[in-house]
Amino acid sequence: RILVLGASGQIGTELTQKLRELYGNQQVIASDIKEGTSEMMASGPFEILDATDKASILQVILKYKINQVYLLAAMLSATAEKFPQKAWDLNMNSLLAVLDLAKEKYIQQVYWPSSIAVFGPTTPKQNTPQKTIMEPSTVYGISKLSGEFWCNYYHQKFGVDVRSLRYPGIISWKTKPGGGTTDYAVDIYFKALEEKKFTCFLSENTRLPMMYMQDAVNATIQLMQAKSSEIKIRTSYNLAAIDFTPKEIADVIKKHIPDFTIEYAPDSRQQIADSWPSSIDDSEARNDWNWKHQFDLSSMTVEMLKNLEKK
Ligand code: VAH
């Protein structure tokens, strides 16, 4: 069985649903410190669980005979700048707890997400390669880069089968934005429909790597289903799909909502965004386990607006 830690979050919600579709509702245990969407709560088992509490995680592992853990609990970039110590404790202690449980053979496989936030202002910004200068300037990025090295260490030293992807900004409609710098690109769709206007906290030409949620979920499952011998990178794989600026996404939304207007009011999140790449080279993922994305900016926009209108 599978345990999802952080199942009430943006990615956890959709990963839980996809895993339940693939493996059966009773095979996937969702958990978080707070309940999630009514759809997720209704579709299978749920446990209130603190992802940093190793003993409690072990109890759930034994109770449900878990053999695979997806650890999606984390504090994202903007919030982590406000609460650095809490962010470090949550992001690192949850990972070390799960890696130890794998080392102690209570579970057989671990998924843990990294992020483009591991790159910093000195990293080449265009088509950022898998191996390059990495000097993250955010607490979130520091925790993700450290986590990558812990994953690689537990794999090399103890044979732990932990796998990881450096997610770009992820766009989805099922949950509200959760404290990320890229979350302007989620909120813009909600606001375009609700108010036909949006005030963007990044400047109009801030180009960032992005991905529609369905692509991110598919990549995650594809990585976890790959043969161990195909996984050449045990820190974390670059993963890419599209990249766009606030102006570009606003222009695509205007094609559907002609009287939509956007204004720009950059705030403290601008310097977080400015420290990250504009586009990512993910050729290792495409070569090692046959990754390819499906959604571009226009098809993502159709999906987002269609689903939000129904919501
Ligand atoms: C954030 N959505 O903005 C996350 C992600 C690359 C961005 O790590 O913090």
Q: Per-residue pLDDT for 298 more than 80?
A: yes
Q: Per-residue pLDDT for 95 more than 80?
A: yes
**Do residues 6 and 73 make contact, with C-beta atoms less than 8 angstroms apart?**
yes
DSSP characters over 103-143: HTTS-SEEE--EEGGG--TTS--SSB-SSS-----SHHHHH
Q: How confident is the model at residue 225 (pLDDT cuts 50, 70, 90)?
A: very high
The complex scores an ipTM of 0.94
**What is the average pLDDT score of the chain?**
97
Locate 235 and state its tokens.
């820190």
**37 C-alpha to ligand 1 centroid (Å):** 21
Ligand 1 atom closest to residue 116's alpha carbon, by position in its atom list: 6
Q: How confident is the model at residue 178 (pLDDT cuts 50, 70, 90)?
A: confident
Closest among 7, 11, 87, 97 to 52, alpha carbons compared: 97
**216 C-alpha to ligand 1 centroid (Å):** 13
pLDDT digits (tens, 9 = 90+) for 229-264: 999 999 999 999 999 999 999 999 999 999 999 999
**With a threshold of 0.90, does the pTM exceed it?**
yes
List of long-range contacts for 266-271, beta carbons under 8 Å, 24+ apart: 266/201, 266/202, 266/203, 267/201, 268/78, 268/81, 269/77, 269/78, 269/181, 269/184, 269/201, 269/202, 270/201, 270/202, 270/203, 270/206
pLDDT digits (tens, 9 = 90+) for 13-63: 999 999 999 999 999 999 999 999 999 999 999 999 999 999 999 999 999
Which residue's alpha carbon is at the smallest distance from atom 5 of ligand 1?
A: 169
Which residue's alpha carbon is at the smallest distance from atom 8 of ligand 1?
A: 115
Residues marked active site are found at 140
Locate 274 and state its tokens.
């400015």
Ligand 1 atom closest to residue 180's alpha carbon, by position in its atom list: 3
Neighbours of 255 (CB within 10 A): 11
**3 C-alpha to ligand 1 centroid (Å):** 23
**275 C-alpha to ligand 1 centroid (Å):** 12
Counting ligand 1 atoms within 8 A of each CB, the residue from 115, 134, 238 with the most, and so the one to mutate, is 115
